[in-house]
Structure 1
Amino acid sequence: MVLQLSTFHWEGGAGVAAARLHQALRNAGTDSQLMVSEISSPAPHTTAWADASWKSRKAWGNFVLERLSFLPYEKDKSVRFAFSPAVAGADIADHPLVKQASIIHLHWINFGFLSMKSLEKLFALGKPIVWTLHDMWTFTGGCHYNRGCERYLSHCCYCPYLKKPGEYDIAFTQFEKKQRLYQNTNLTLVSPSRWLDNLVQKAALTNGKPSRAIPNCIDTNFFKPGDRIGARNALGLPADKRLLLFAGANTQDPRKGFTYFREAMQDPDLAGTEVMILGKGKPENFKDMPVKVHFLGKISDSAQMVQAYNAADMLIVPSLEDNLPNTIMEAMACGTPAVGFDTGGIPEMIGHLESGFISKSKSPSSLSEGIQWVLSHNSNGAISEQARAKVLQHYSEEVIARQYSQLYDSLLHG
């Protein structure tokens, strides 16, 4: 049995990716169990660590303690959730599922689910560990994305996220702990993008460790092309406008690059288009957009997400740092082309001038050029077909489950 461990369940990019992989493996006949901190909705072969009210309180307490422990060090509140000290977490080493597991498969485990001590106890069991990285935390001194700092290539210290960066700051300390933790562990690192796998191979903490790139997966029978007019009617959107979709868990997160999108929309050639926005935020955040905005808020229902993708002419992803965004995969599976910046794993997903357009990072004019290219080249649906074909070939459940099954077999049978 393979035990998948994830803080979140069907929530956030990493939580969704972990749940989808678990589902794909089960469908392919692999005995996968998923343990999350707390379950968002009942699901087969899925267990919450917090399966009693006192444990729910403990899970919340661990999250609070984890954040409070960073508070005295944080540079300002904009970095509050961008660095995880991993000082608080659940001890799951004696959990029945952990004892039964032949392989322990970690996903995103921060925010009070597993601490450095929790990991130490898990690793001490001597079982093969597979760790799918959903950001850079595994090989840094605590940041989830490095924002240009390259000290993780040698040794973290003088961390730019801290109020008082120093030679022996908390990034230095966590780096040292991870170094000891990884030393004698049967650890295989998996990155959803080749971009992240390349960083894994360069990082001081992980170079020399077995690593590979295996993308996240998606249910292509659920995320599929549908009736555009019907989708627009259901969401109260105009039937006759060209609609550009921006979807971010937090639209105000600077990492998602919304300001570049706003600037791109000032191009007079885009004056006739309108914008759909999904995610956390408030309508007033978008009042200075130069075109009409349809703010749909946060959508948790997957069927509604499919409608949103089908309603849009394209997805815009101006992220400044990103691994392998689920939104791109979901949109393309629905036959909705994507335009994104040349950052992280995005260029691996969007075939430039085939299934979408890759724009120069931080360039509103290049973003505008990409939007116009898709609008002018997709009138017959050729770009949409290419987008769907790319997902079927590289990200379908069957394709990814097979790659993970082969990895598990190689770890168990050499």
Structure 2
Amino acid sequence: MRILIVNTSEKTGGAAVAANRLKDALNNNGVKAKMLVRDKLTDDITVVSLGHEWHNQWNLLWERFCVYWNLNFSRNQLFEIDLANTGTDITKLREFKEADIIHLSWINQGMLSLKGIRKILDSGKPVVWTMHDIWPATGICHITLNCLRYQSACGNCRLLPNGGSTNDLSHRVLERKKKMLEGRNVMFVTCSKWLEKEARKSAILAGQQVRSIPNPIDTHVFHPADSKQARIKTGLPLNKKIILFASQRVTNVNKGISYLVEACHQLATKYPEMVDNTAVAILGGHAEDLREEFDFEVCELGYVNDTQQIVDVYNACDVFVLPSLSENLPNTIMEAMACGVPSIGFKVGGIPEMIDHRVNGYVAAERSADDLARGIRWILDEADYAALSEASVGKVLRCYSQRSVAMRYLEVYNEALAYKNFRL
């Protein structure tokens, strides 16, 4: 069986990391898998570039311009909207023709157009589509933030100037997506049970199959290691308890850094000794913008894409905090848990599926800096830390190992092939 996983980037972003890990998990378990990407960053022979860089850049710029124009030339929501109005036709590529299954992943920002996806569906090859966010089930957004309009027809979109209208861009794109899938079957896979539940409500996905399979992680790479040695490698303080926050862009409002700042203010006020014995490590771009926000020492690690360095950072820290306002199944929590680091997150999206409250971490009430502070204090100073760490690793080995996830996807692929043969 030959699988072609299609994703915009090879490495950049959570979806790219997850898609790459799935490709490796499949190859390590007897399934031939390749990735087709626009942005190839390594010399990995199992990753194939679209080529035609100028054409790819034009597709990206044209789609962004169309979004920009619809926003009345405002940058505020520029990368929160995707139209898929332009992209590359991949059906003529050798890799496409050789594949038994086409596995779509995150294909936005000029990678594939809705017209191109319809062409893939019309090719007769079975299509599996992993949803790393809710965009395939909505008009134009990747995060609904409790908006329910995608369940009927979209329109009056919060992302558009003046709240849009009943026949605005979000409504029109939703109708195009419905037409794209009309009379065609796609096996949709969500990375969390929460997203599966939300996707099933979509007007676009009515009649389509939707199920959940988590992302995999290589537990031979992400695993517990000596904390002192990890701190020496990363340059983090040896004499403090370290809170870790990580995001590709740490100032992204959706990642909730402001709640961590407020939680640390509360802890510093209530437990003054923590000011001297606690530090906050920030992994990701723009960390310098937060330098003056915390009462605790801030260790700016910047953006890191070397896997071993990332593993060292996790092992150097005592607790990982991700106070996101919306999440699917964050790789960062999975990585921290695999390294034996207890995690804290809000009760949103797929986070409560990963963190078992007070068993391997702490699930805080949504948007509550108070409860976030309680969780940090509990893990650092009150809980049985060794038990939390052991439970974190055990959860990852049971639920997210390469083999367990690969076998679940293999069932989906076989089902997709069987359905194709039945139709024939």
The Cα of 1:240 is off from its aligned counterpart by: 1.4
1:44 CA drift (Å): 3.0
Q: Is 1:182 matched up with 2:206? A: no
| C-alpha deviation, 1:294, in angstroms | 0.3
2:219 aligns with 220
SS in 1 for 2:265: coil
| RMSD (Å) for aligned C-alpha atoms | 1.2
Q: SS at the partner of 2:236?
A: coil
1:263 to 2:259 alignment: no
Alpha-carbon distance, 1:259 to partner: 0.4
Distance 1:348 1:332 in 2: 13
Q: Which amino acid aligns with 2:46?
A: H
User: What are the Cα deviations for residues 163-194 of structure 1, in whole angstroms up to 9, with x where unaligned?
Assistant: 14012111111101111111211201100000
Aligned positions of 1:226-375 closer than 5 A: 226-267=225-266, 268=269, 269=271, 270-271=274-275, 272-375=277-380
Query: Matched residue of 1:295: which SS?
Result: strand
Amino acid at match of 2:17: V
AA at the equivalent of 1:49: L
Q: Which amino acid aligns with 1:318?
A: P
SS in 1 for 2:171: helix
- Verify the 8 A CA contact 2:281 2:301 in the aligned structure 1: yes
Deviation (angstroms), 1:385: 0.5
Question: Which residue matches 2:118?
Answer: 120
User: Structure 2 length as normaliser, TM-score?
Assistant: 0.94
State the Cα deviation string for residues 260-316 of structure 1 (Å, max 9, x = none). Answer: 110000123343321000111041433121211001000110000000000010100
Instruction: Answer whether contact 1:277 1:297 (CA < 8 A) is retained.
Output: yes
Out of 374-383 and 211-220, give the one that drifted further: 374-383
AA aligned opposite 1:70: V
Residues of 2 paired with 1:342 and 1:408: CA distance? 32
Q: Provide the C-alpha distance between the structure 1 equivalents of 2:287 and 2:12, rounded to a whole number of angstroms.
A: 20
Q: Letter of the 1:152 partner, please give it.
A: Y
Question: What's the counterpart of residue 422 of structure 2?
Answer: none
Can you give the 5+ residue segments of structure 1 that lack an aligned partner in the other structure? none
Q: Which amino acid aligns with 2:154?
A: C
Residue 161 of structure 2 aligns to a residue whose secondary structure is coil
* C-alpha distance after superposition, 1:85-105 (max 9, x if no partner): 111211111111111222110
Letter aligned with residue 385 of structure 1: E
C-alpha distance in 1, partners of 2:417/2:118?
A: 21
**Identical-residue share of aligned pairs (%):** 37
Larger deviation, residues 322-331 vs 178-187: 178-187
* 1:60 Cα deviation after fit: 1.4
Shift of 1:18: 0.4
2:344 and 2:361 in contact (8 A); partners too? yes
Residue 208 of structure 1: how far off its partner (Å): 2.8
Of 67, 74, 85 in structure 2, the residue corresponding to residue 70 of structure 1 is 67
SS of the aligned residue for 1:77 comes to coil
Match of 2:167 in 1: 168
Alignment correspondent of 1:211: 210
How do 1:364-403 residues align onto structure 2 when only pairs under 5 Å count? 364-378=369-383, 380-403=385-408
1:59 aligned to 2:60?
Answer: no
| Preserved CA contact (<8 Å) 1:127 1:186 | no
Aligned with 2:88 (options 87, 90, 104): 90
Shift of 1:14: 0.2
Offset from partner CA, 1:211-241 (integer Å, 9 cap, x none): 1110000000000001111111111111110
Alignment partners' CA distance in 1, 2:360 and 2:233: 26
Check 1:282–1:390 CA distance in 2 against 1; reply closer, same or farther (3 A cut).
closer
Kept in 2, the 8 Å contact 1:201–1:208? The answer is: no
Q: Retained in 2: the 8 A contact 1:189–1:211?
A: yes
The CA distance in 1 between the partners of 2:406 and 2:397, in whole Å, is 13
Q: Determine helix, strand or coil for the equivalent of 2:200.
A: helix
1:367-386 superposed Cα distances (whole Å, 9 cap, x missing partner): 00111111134555110000
Moved more, 26-35 or 94-103: 94-103
Which amino acid in the other structure matches residue 399 of structure 1?
A: S
SS in 2 for 1:202: coil
| Cα separation, 1, equivalents of 2:296 and 2:287 | 17
Greater Cα shift, 361-370 or 202-211: 202-211
Partner residue, 1:8: 9
| Pair 1:46-2:47 in alignment | yes
CA distance in 2, matches of 1:19, 1:288: 35
CA distance in 1, matches of 2:309, 2:339: 12
Distance 1:288 1:68, change over 3 A: same
Tell me, in whole angstroms, the C-alpha distance in 2 between the residues paired with 1:44 and 1:207. 38
Match of 2:28 in 1: 27
The one-letter code matched in structure 2 to 1:48 is S
Partner of 1:358, secondary structure, is strand
Matched residue type, 1:2: I
Gaps of 5+ in 2: 420-424
Please name the residue that 1:101 is paired with. Answer: 99
Cα distance in 2 for residues equivalent to 1:316 and 1:380 = 15
